[in-house]
Structure 1
Amino acid sequence: MEIWIAEGDGKRGPFETYLVRGRIEEGELSGDELAWHKDQDGWVKLREMDVFRSAFEISDADVSVALPPPLPVEPYPFLRFFARWFDISLYLLFFFSLLRLAGQGFVPMAPGLFLYLYFLPCVLLEAAMLHKLATSPGKYLLGIRVNRTDDKRLSIQAALVRSLRAFIVGLGLMVSPILTGICHVYCLWYLLRRKEAPWDTMTTTRVVAQNPQVSAVLRFSLLFLTVISLLFVVLRPAFDTRFEEIREDVRKRLGEVR
């Protein structure tokens, strides 16, 4: 079979089938060139000709096998740890500041439904920010973004599920410092082993982070210390009151012993 091929500004040929196949195997022909032989009505792409279709299928398969897999995403566990606690501290600062402005005192956390009212708005706010911005204040400062595996934004449902699971699995519902610490250790082990957090595995989300510059780390550290300091100022009256209550209780107990 004699094959004519459109190359450059004209047509070249005729070529025997084995010569064309050899050029395909050498990579000289991509398959997008127009070709013709006497038994067909018009010009078609070389890869669409029955006699060469199998050659291009093999070539494409070889290329796909030869391509390396995507590079693994660096987990940066400590960046994510500090970013989350920045968000939590910032939320608590606004929450307790609003309580004070409203003339309400600090309500000690107690087991039960009321405990979760402290953090439910935090979960909802984080979900909304991940849906709209793919980041949160702490993550933004450290260059962290949360997307779907296809790099598109999370839906509001996916963002809410992710935030809830991070709050439950990563923070242990914040019901106890000991439980929260255990959850942190487990998540650190999981993240280093699997290169993703448990809630990202559950929701098939992808966290993109990069090693921040020194200036970004310094800026983040300064802002974090500022938030913590302001939070301490807001809560200090409550701490002083609680400390006095503890002292008074100790005095009463000592008086009963005597």
Structure 2
Amino acid sequence: MDFFLSLRGSKAGPFSIFKVGELLERGEVTPETLGWHRGMEEWLPISEIPALDAVRERVLAEKEDRESEAAPGPPPMPDRPPMPEPPGPFPQAPLPGTGAAPAQVLTRAAAIDPPRPFVRFFARMFDYTLISVLVFKFSAIEIVQPHVGESVADFMTRYLAEMQKPEARQFALALVFSLIGWHVLEAFLVHLLGTTPGKAIFGLRVTTNEGNRLPVLTSLGRSFYVYILGVGFYQFPFILIGMVFSIIRLLTSGACLWDQHLRTRVEGKPLGAVRILLAIGAFFVLLLLQSVSYS
């Protein structure tokens, strides 16, 4: 069973029951921290979630044992009772209840980024466009362009006739194999660098839930998870279904299906004005290269 916790006002997770116990033991969360798991109607404190009773009681018992072992013994009896000191003003003493509350310590694994599905969408579309432009660049196909004053029916007739040529079929086959090869390359890029060209432009990085680099098999599995379920082999209508499902799931649960199953996460830097201009410029360069290929 996976649990989600409210940390610094944000939803964090999913965590296993053992991870929740570890966070309780280290003091990074308290029994008053709000939590939720599938089947609950609302967020409740950890102390009121029945599924966490056993781990909470174990952590509290271990904490009491450590405190009792570390408690000092009684001091030796004095020869005579000390004389009480006369009361006096204490201007330096803080008033009760006015001290600053101790800051809650959060590890990197407990931190969580906003989902930002559309940033991730444009990052993947940049990678897809990059591969498509490269395939166009080295192919002999001529892209059908509409003529001035040409009707839609005439253009579609010319387009369908062009798509029946052997060159068009060879191009489609080359694009399919290029995208499969790209997902293999993407897996190794994520394993080595944690990012791809599109993700780097948008400030995204893929890590494990603990913030570590992905193992190569996990990275390869994630890449083809996305290829099959996320973009539907890049074939209509499967690509539309996969992307809509991924966006909805990311907005509702905070993680895509493959990230939850493989225990991975996508970290992101703030998307400031400089990064937005960089992304627009990168897409413009790709479109410029694509137009040169068509001309």
Could you tell me which of 62, 65, 74 is aligned with 1:54?
65
Query: What is the correspondence of 1:208-247 to structure 2 with a 5 Å cutoff?
Result: 208-234=267-293, 236=294
Shift of 1:155: 1.4
Counterparts of 2:68 and 2:129, CA distance in 1: 57
Matched, 1:127 2:127: no
Counterpart residue identity of residue 132, structure 1? L
Matched, 1:138 2:149: no
Structure 1 unpaired stretches of 5+: 1-51, 60-65, 238-258
Number of equivalent positions: 174
| Pair 1:55–1:233, CA change in 2 (3 A) | same
Shift of 1:231: 2.1
Tell me the alpha carbon deviations over residues 39-96 of structure 1, each in whole angstroms, 9 at most, x when there is no partner: xxxxxxxxxxxxx97252799xxxxxx8789343211111100000001111122233
Do the aligned partners of 1:93 and 1:227 also contact (CA within 8 Å) in 2?
yes
Give the TM-score taking structure 1 as reference length: 0.59
| Pair 1:225–1:150, CA change in 2 (3 A) | same
Shift of 1:114: 6.9
Identity among equivalent positions (%) equals 28
Matched, 1:80 2:120: yes
Give the TM-score taking structure 2 as reference length: 0.52
Q: Higher helix fraction: Structure 1 or Structure 2?
A: 1
* Over 4 Å off, 4+ runs: 66-69
Counterparts of 2:196 and 2:105, CA distance in 1: 35
Shift of 1:202: 2.1
| Pair 1:57–1:127, CA change in 2 (3 A) | farther
| Paired residue secondary structure (2:265) | strand
Matched, 1:90 2:130: yes
Structure 2 unpaired stretches of 5+: 1-62, 71-103, 141-165
Counterpart residue identity of residue 222, structure 1? G
| Pair 1:152–1:55, CA change in 2 (3 A) | closer
| Pair 1:68–1:153, CA change in 2 (3 A) | closer
